[in-house]
Chains A and B, each alone.
Chain A
Amino acid sequence: ELQVVESGGGLVQPGGSLRLSCTASGFIVSSNYMSWVRRAPGKGLEWVSIIYSANVTHYADSVKGRFTISRDYSKNTLYLQMNSLRAEDTAVYYCVGYYYMNVWGEGTTVTVSS
């Protein structure tokens, strides 16, 4: 069964940092398109970032320069390093596998508040 499980969410102050992790089973993270998608309270889905091929990466304009996506082959894990966090980054963050996003985790909640 194809599965991803996120971790690392929590409460952080504005300007702080957090690293999300996503561990996959049933498929190889480093061989596939992997993305992060978020949903803020009361809002719709927002695509955040993607990594694919030889670690090519792309970001939403709203997080460019603050977030970094990466992956570890040996741990079959995807990461999202989030720096300079803002209140508007508060959301449930989903790890998603494959180009057409058919493997979703249950999400991890990030709350940015003082």
Chain B
Amino acid sequence: IQLTQSPSSLSASVGDRVTITCRASQDISNYLAWYQQKPGRAPRLLIYAASTLQSGVPSSFSGSGSGTDFTLTISSLQPEDFATYYCQQLSGFPFTFGQGTQLEIK
């Protein structure tokens, strides 16, 4: 199962609302997770089951979608949100990640 994220990179300002999309090559129901990774750090789970917020993650993050089309939305960007974001499907083996979206400060 292939995942295609868009955009590959994104420039935005603090306070902006941003949306990242992830499209699966086949129906994966809601078996999708979103991760954030900062340079030199381990990834961090943000969203699982497509729309469930992981404990401790700010409510400015939200996820939606099912089947083949999914979105990650950050409602109001904070300085600490500038990072790379990945989607991952857990519907079938091998589990796969999207190619990543690098979110940069404008």
- A interface list, Cβ under 8 A from B: 35, 37, 39, 44-47, 50, 58-61, 94, 99-102, 104-107
Contact = CB atoms under 8 A, between A and B. Distances in A.
B71 interface: no
A59 B93 CA distance: 8
B79 interface: no
Nearest to A4: B42
A100 B42 contact: no
A104 B46 CA distance: 13
Interface residues of B, number: 23
Interface in B28-81: 33, 35, 37, 41-45, 48-49, 54
Given A45-B37, A102-B45, A59 B86 contact: no
Nearest to B95: A47
Contacts of B45: 100-102
Contacts of B96: 47
Nearest to A63: B94
A50 B43 CA distance: 17
B42 A45 contact: no
A45 B97 contact: yes
A57 B78 CA distance: 39
Max chain B C-beta neighbours (<10 A), residue from A39, A58, A94, A107: A39
Contact of A100 (B49, B84, B98): B49
B90 to A, nearest CB: 7
